[in-house]
Amino acid sequence: MTTEPQAHILLIEDDQRLAEGLRLALVREGHSVEVAHRGEDGLALAIRTRPDLVVVDLALPDTDGLSVCQRLRERTYVPIMIMTGAATDEHDKVVGLRFGADDYLVKPFGLAEFCARVEALLRRSNIYAAGRDRELRAGDLLIDREAYTVRRAGRDIDLTPKEFELLVALAEYPNRVRDRDYLLERIWGYTPEIRTRTLDMHIRRLREKLETDPAEPRLIQTVVGVGYKLVA
């Protein structure tokens, strides 16, 4: 059994036999697990119990998993893993990631792989970052990781979940360059071979919200050919 601190995981899966097998596997790893067999029940549990991770099947009896994923992401920063059938169209997997999922698994899969992906996703979301500072400061920028709030010069800044995660990743090491591959893997789970403008789009949106002049950014700077850094 893992010696990591216990995480609270919500599993949304209508197949009761599969759900019980996954639940037992996670419990053996030291986690606490709640199970919902319907999408609406899972959404209600997620809002009420604030889990550290949500695992959701795309095929649910009352609503599709993509809708659950999207609605979760609109309301919470919780990491989301989607489970798909082998016959699932690739388009659904891509849409799931765009709707806010952080990872996906294709059925059938082994329990060892399932647990390993859960642990990796929890690590990536800093659930196990023992002793980390609740607040991050960089000049007049203040980030509260637990309250999910951002203030600059005393002004509240409204960020989306992914914008918040990206800003935290930059603010953890101010004045140091974070390369593109690291940011894409940490925030979106992308591997280096995936070519995407997602990172640049989110950087642009952060600048629009944080910079005095987004066209001449001083807080979030580009290091050409490498990545980005937050200047304290």
- Name the domain boundary from 82, 98, 124: 124
Q: Is residue 164 part of a domain?
A: yes
For residue 202, give the nearest of 172, 176, 165, 177 by alpha carbon. 165
Domain count across the chain: 2
Question: Which runs of E-coded beta strand occur in 91-163?
Answer: 103-106, 135-138, 141-144, 149-152, 155-157
Enter the DSSP assignment of 193. T
Distance of CA 43 to the CA centre of its chain: 16
The predicted structure's pLDDT at residue 90? 66
Measured in residues, the chain has a length of: 232
Q: 112 and 156 share a domain?
A: no
Q: Is 68 helix (H, G, I), strand (E, B) or coil?
A: helix
Within a 10 A sphere around the Cβ of 190, how many other Cβ atoms? 18
CA trace torsion 91, 97, 101, 102 (10° rounding): 130
CATH classification of the domain holding 47: 3.40.50.2300
Instruction: Among 69, 94, 124, give the residue marking a domain's end.
Output: 124
Question: Tokens representing 112?
Answer: 């060892």
Q: Mind listing the pLDDT tens digit for each residue in 95-134?
A: 677 777 888 888 889 999 999 999 988 887 764 444 456 7
CATH number at residue 202: 1.10.10.10
Distance CA(34)–CA(44), nearest Å, equals: 12
Cβ atoms of 72 and 36 within 8 Å: the answer is no
Asked if 40 and 144 sit in the same domain, the reply is no
Residue 40 lies in a domain: yes
Is 202 within a domain? yes
pLDDT beneath 50, residues of the chain? 1-5, 127-131
**Residue where one domain finishes, among candidates 67, 101, 124:** 124
Task: Identify the domain containing residue 93 by its residue range.
Answer: 8-124
Same domain, 12 and 120: yes
Distance CA 63, CA 119 (A): 27
What per-residue confidence (pLDDT) applies to 5? 44
Measured CA to CA, the distance from residue 228 to residue 73 in angstroms comes to: 25
Which pLDDT belongs to residue 1? 39
In a domain, residue 2? The reply is no
Residues 193 and 104 in one domain: no
pLDDT at residue 50, as a whole number? 82
Q: For residue 86, what pLDDT is reported?
A: 65
Contact yes or no for 199/167 (Cβ under 8 A)? no
Residue 151 and residue 60 share a domain: no
